[in-house]
Amino acid sequence: MTREQIVYRLQQDYALRREENQRLFQEHTEDICAKCPGLRQLLDNRREALMRGLRSGILAGRKDPEANASLPDEMMGFNKKIAAALKKGGLDSVALQPVYTCPLCRDEGYLYEPSRRMCSCFEKELNRRMIDELGLAKVVPQTFERFDEALFTTEPVESYSVSQRQMISYNRNVCLEYADSFPDTAVRDLLFMGKSGLGKTFLLQAIAHRVAGRGFLPLYISAYRLFETARKAYFENDSDQMTRLIDAPLLLMDDLGTEPLMANITITQLFNLLNERQMAGHHTVISTNLTISALKERYTERIASRLLDGRNCMQLTFIGEDVRRRLGNSEDGI
């Protein structure tokens, strides 16, 4: 589902919400009228006066422009009588306030002053649905806010001049800047390289959450699911199944190298996917446990050159010991 489709469905849900709240308001009004004699007639008279004023305003060019001059006073008079009827029935003057789930936008989902924009309630629900669409609606979401660098060791890592904590903090900052500046990123693509349990998947999902929270809809997919889609497209001779992957403004692919390898499918479809996305200028972030030499051996030089293109792709190295193993298979905070 595209972002536009999610927005459209949400707008439909808001329309149903308005209808339901209007029904509740009407039921509430009828209950109040039953307790306050004469209130129903006052409400009907006020509505008729208002409608006359609206009709007169529409036809103002043909009528006396002063025709509605007395309408405000007339409305005020009705309001005073209605308030008195409510008080006589033992009810507060605000008893007939409309029912809204969100009083700010009155369940429209949008605010119109000073210009049209999404209400915070609509924006929050849109973000939640986009996260659901990504398949990342976890009880404990992997976000930048939950990143905890204290879980990583401070001892220098052999063959590197920095510690695991220093490296993961650097990677986290690069990913945060990438997500916050998308689509105007300093570099188009990112490639995460390192062994399992070093935070690659966490930061991949953190980017997805942050970009979705900014109103974009990335596509998050494991390499295995990518392979399944490519395999199905190949055997069914249906290239449209790959279209969603090709057209996504941001594709986040996790665990490249763990999928089954079929030369006619995996390599060919992966090359076509990367090539089409790069020609279209779309952003791609990939994580892999493979080394550079293993990438070239598994996917051929042609694909590796696209993954390792320093002009458009930034490599982030993940080093040190498996944090999940050290913490007992917990990914919280990494």
* DSSP3 helix / strand / coil % (the chain, rounded to 5): 55, 10, 35
pTM comes to 0.69
Residues 109 and 181 grouped into a single domain: no
Question: Does 334 fall in a domain?
Answer: no
Domain boundary among 119, 145, 166: 119
Is residue 281 in a domain? yes
Specify whether the CB–CB gap between 118 and 213 falls below 8 A. no
Q: Residue 217 in contact with residue 2, Cβ under 8 Å?
A: yes
Does a structural domain hold residue 17? yes
Position with higher pLDDT, 117 vs 56? 117
The CATH code of the domain that includes 311 is 3.40.50.300
Q: Is 68 domain-assigned?
A: yes
Mean pLDDT for all residues in the chain: 86
Give yes or no: residues 188 and 307 share one domain: yes
- The reported pLDDT for the residue numbered 291 is 92
Same domain, 156 and 250: yes
Task: Examine the domain organization and report whether 148 and 105 are in the same domain.
Answer: no
- Give the domain extent around 29: 3-119
Residue 322 included in any domain: yes
pLDDT at 137 over 80: no
pLDDT at 108: 92
**Do 174 and 73 reside in the same domain of the chain?**
no
**176 and 275 part of one domain:** yes
End position of a domain, from candidates 119, 151, 167: 119
pLDDT for 59 equals 62
25 in a structural domain = yes
The pLDDT score that the predictor gives to residue 203 is 96
Q: Please report which confidence band the pLDDT of residue 284 belongs to, taking 50, 70 and 90 as the band edges.
A: very high
Q: Is residue 331 part of a domain?
A: no
Q: How many domains does the chain have?
A: 2
Mean pLDDT of all residues in 160-181? 95
Does residue 171 share a domain with residue 113?
Answer: no
103 and 187 assigned to the same domain: no
Percent of residues, the chain, with pLDDT higher than 70: 91
**pLDDT value at residue 60:** 54
Q: Tell which of 94, 119, 144 closes a domain.
A: 119
Tokens 């649905």 — which residue?
Answer: 129
Same domain for 250 and 204? yes
Of the ranges 191-205, 215-229, 299-313, the best mean pLDDT one: 191-205
13 and 102 together in one domain: yes
The residue ranking higher by pLDDT, 289 or 118, is 289
Question: What phi and psi, each to the nearest 5 degrees, are found at residue 180?
Answer: -75, -25
Quick check: is 210 in a domain? yes
**Domain co-membership, 275 together with 142:** yes
Q: Residue 58 — very low, low, confident or very high, per pLDDT cuts 50/70/90?
A: low
Q: What is the DSSP string of 193-236?
A: EE-TTSSHHHHHHHHHHHHHHTT---EEEEHHHHHHHHHHHHHT
Are 159 and 284 contained in the same domain? yes
Tell me: the pLDDT tens digits for 90-133?
888 778 888 889 989 999 999 988 888 889 888 888 878 877 87
Give residue 330's pLDDT band: very low, low, confident or very high (50, 70, 90). Answer: low
